[in-house]
Structure 1
Amino acid sequence: MWLLPVYALLLALSTLTHEPDHAEDFEAWSRYVTTDVFVVSHVGASILGAGLGLVGVVCAMVLMLRGPAAGTALVATALTILGNVLFTSIFAAAAYAQPAIGRAFLAEMPGAERLYDDVYGAPLLTALALGAVTFVAGALLLGRAFARTDPSLRWAGWTYGASLVVFLIAGFTVSFLQPVAAAVACVAAVVVSLRLPTLAA
């Protein structure tokens, strides 16, 4: 269960900085994505964090299987797994392809910008869209499952789900809100991790 707040904390840490807009300044973008901070953030926080978060979600589902929100918890877990797997493929593209593209550009190799466009083409954008839909649905349903399990989890459950949705939307709109939303999700997940195991005992 405690992997849920760890997951949310890693989301917050991984979004403290954001890459420059490649369309406006490809050189600045290249310098950012070739830093160790960028690689560690994506491999350690985004990819490993997603895996840890899924373990936490499955543990939460197991604890709710005998409660009033069993069905909701099952569906939420399935959608969360789908969403995080799809997003992990995108994090992997960022972690492994972007530094190579950035180094190629900084070394003045021709075609680096076109390679970026090729990597981030229709297949990746499709995975992003499907990942966003399943991630949002999974987060909201998991929050609903927490809230339905016991009145003492109502605010924490809805806060957890809603803050993850805000986290995702902020990534496409107001990026500086991402770590704030993830921190709120972390606090809510701590409350759930403290109370849910005792309710299921």
Structure 2
Amino acid sequence: MNTQSTGLWIRAGLWALPVAWLVTAWGALEPQPDQVKDPGAWARFVSSDSYQASHLLGATAGTILAIFGIFALGCFLADSRSGRLALPAMTIAAAGTALLLVPAVISTFATPAIGGAYLKGNEDVMQLEFPASMTAAFLLGLLLAFVGSVLLGVAVFRSRVLPRWSGALWAAGSILFYVLGVVLGLATTGSSLPTQSIGALLLAAAGGWMAWSGSHRASVSSKG
């Protein structure tokens, strides 16, 4: 693959970052009802077409696009002054995000089936328990995705090839999304919090800023 073609794929991956986080923000807008306190409302919610669409795009497609974007960002920064940090950060973030595909796929396809079974009178389906290994994979993925994302933000900040404050915004969005959004939501309401969507929007803004700057830089270089 020639250098020009490689550059096109990297720029496409950079633009995948804002798209990934925009659909993630959309998918997290409406919190689920409490499964324990109101199983009927929960079952109706997860059985709806809107739930299926939001999770198919927001959770599953958004995660796949995020992995593409993470690799592209790491490759873009590889030859910068922060390349030694960017490449391991890319690997950590991509590994964590890949692990998060496990709960994303389950919430997209298995959860609606559980809700549908409950609404048809099979109340015992609410007693279904997933193995502890799935919880461990989710928590590990969450940790790796958070650490890798923050490190990528630091790498961007230090790179001198992308706007440094886009890296700071990326790191702030990561903290808001993963810690004050996902983790805090699980520890309190058991569902998504507004901070999750706000964090995703900050990540989308930072990703868009990086993509625009990277594309502009490549355009200027090609003219030169």
Do Structure 1 and Structure 2 share a fold, with TM-score over 0.5?
A: yes
Q: Given that residues 63 and 197 in structure 1 are in contact (C-alpha distance below 8 angstroms), is that contact kept between their aligned partners in structure 2? A: no
User: Within 2, Cα distance between the matches of 1:103 and 1:129?
Assistant: 27
Q: TM-score, normalised by structure 1?
A: 0.92
Select the residue among 123, 133, 142 that pairs with 2:143.
133
Counterpart position of 1:23: 36
Percent of aligned positions that are identical: 26
CA distance in 2, matches of 1:107, 1:146: 51
Match of 2:86 among 54, 73, 78: 73
Aligned: 1:191 with 2:201: no
Q: Which amino acid aligns with 1:100?
A: A
Equivalent residue of 2:79, what SS? coil
Q: Tell me, in whole angstroms, the C-alpha distance in 2 between the residues paired with 1:67 and 1:143.
A: 14
Would you say the 8 A contact 2:67–2:98 is kept in 1? no
1:139–1:162 contact (8 Å) kept in structure 2: no
TM-score for both structures, normalised by structure 2: 0.83
In 2, Cα distance between equivalents of 1:180 and 1:131: 21
> In the TM superposition, what are the counterparts of 1:165-180 in structure 2 within 5 Å?
165-169=175-179, 170-173=181-184, 175-180=193-198
Q: CA deviation at 1:35?
A: 0.6
The residue type equivalent to 1:166 in the other structure is L
Partner of 1:35: 48
* RMSD, aligned α-carbons: 1.6
C-alpha distance in structure 2 between counterparts of 1:75 and 1:21, whole Å: 38
1:154 is the counterpart of 2:164:
yes
Q: Please list, as runs of the form range in 1=range in 2, the aligned pairs for 1:57-96 lying within 5 A after superposition.
A: 57-96=70-109
Deviation at 1:17, TM superposition (A): 0.6
- 1:198 is displaced (CA, Å) by 4.4
Please state how far the C-alpha of 1:32 moved relative to its aligned partner: 0.5
Instruction: Report the Cα distance in structure 1 between the residues aligned to 2:199 and 2:76, rounded to whole angstroms.
Output: 25
1:34-93: CA deviation from partner (whole Å, max 9, x where unpaired): 011111111122111111111112112221111111121111111111111111100111
- Paired residue total: 198
2:101 corresponds to which letter in structure 1? Answer: T
- Identify which of 56, 62, 73 aligns with 1:49: 62
Separation in structure 2 between the aligned mates of residue 197 and residue 138 of structure 1, nearest angstrom? 23
Letter in 1 for 2:141: G
Gaps of 5+ in 2: 1-13, 186-192
Would you say the 8 A contact 2:150–2:171 is kept in 1? yes
